[in-house]
Amino acid sequence: MSPIDTKAQLESINAAAQELAQRRAKGEAGALLQEALRPKDFSQAFAIQQTIAQQFSAQGNPIAGWKCLLPTAEKTVVAPIYQQDVYLQTAECPLYPSSKGLARVEPELAFEIGNDLPPRATPYSEAEIDAALGKTRLALELIKSRYQNPSEANHFDALADGLVNQGLWLGPELSTPAEIETGHFALSVAIAHNDQQQTETLKKAAVHPNGFPKAGLYWLVNFLSAQGIGLTRGQYVITGSYAGVLDLPLNQTCQFHYGDLGQFSLQFVEKVMK
């Protein structure tokens, strides 16, 4: 990545980070940043993103996980997830709803870092990364952009803002042996409409975008290491949605079945600022 080496660049990065951090903290969305503050390339976008992370960490809200995908020629997908936005097997999942009053989530697998993977000069092998992993959990990425019209934001705008992530819900551990196929499964979500005493079931053929869900994890460890960033014990990594974004109702019981991988039940509730 090209260095951020001028005072003007640093000032614009700090100003962009401050604005996006305030929006995230308040659960708000706004217009695209002023043109002078919008990132023009990956280096600027990543610098804004990591400046936000530094601000949150100083406020007692450190990075608790990462989202990623294998990079392509068009884009690099990497963004932090913050401690105060991670929920472990809670019966209710707080989030900021969409403009239509719905919970926007993506079904994922989350890989726990069981032992630290500090930055180093030589790349980590897949075997070394596998040996450092802990639990694998069924998970939901919680989705919300800090831009009022996300379709107007280009990839660098979205990257600076954390790639529409607003949090992570961690479910049960995989209920099947490690050898089982995790690249695809039959996804179903049974929604109990409590007021109508009836159930609606959403079914999808869930397929990981990289085929092999650890592929992005292997890339992420070495990408971050090259930036001087390590992964630490207890953090989680998600590596791509199996079924895109699901729009689901608030305050209704949703029963998720990840094929033979496991199941869980929860309700989405509107997040309230403290």
Contacting residues for 18 by C-beta, under 8 A, at least 6 apart: 55
Class of domain 61-270: alpha beta
**Residue 227: closest CA among 21, 49, 24:** 49
Q: Is the pLDDT of residue 8 over 90?
A: no
Residues 13/48, Cβ–Cβ less than 8 Å: yes
pLDDT of the residue at 196: 64
pLDDT digits (tens, 9 = 90+) for 81-99: 999 999 999 999 999 999 9
Residues 4/35, Cβ–Cβ less than 8 Å: no
Out of 26-40, 151-165, 196-210, least confident range: 196-210
Average the pLDDT over 213-226 and give the result. Answer: 98
Q: Is the pLDDT of residue 273 over 80?
A: no
The structural domains of the chain, with segments of one domain joined by +, span: 61-270
- Amino acid symbol at 244: G
Average the pLDDT over 215-236 and give the result. Answer: 98
SS3 labels along the chain: CCCCCCHHHHHHHHHHHHHHHHHHHHCCCECCCCCCCCCCCHHHHHHHHHHHHHHHHHCCCCEEEEEECCCCCCCCCEEEEEHHHEEECCCEEEECCCCCCCEEEEEEEEEEECCCECCCCCCCCHHHHHHHEEEEEEEEEEECCCECCHHHCCHHHHHHCCCCEEEEEEEEECCCCCCCCCCEEEEEEEEEECCCCEEEEEEEEEECCCCCCCHHHHHHHHHHHHCCCCECCCCEEECCCCCCCEEECCCCEEEEEEHHHCEEEEEEEECCCC
163 C-beta neighbours (distance < 10 Å), count: 21
pLDDT digits (tens, 9 = 90+) for 15-60: 999 999 999 999 999 999 999 999 999 999 999 999 999 999 999 9
Strand partners, 170: 88, 139
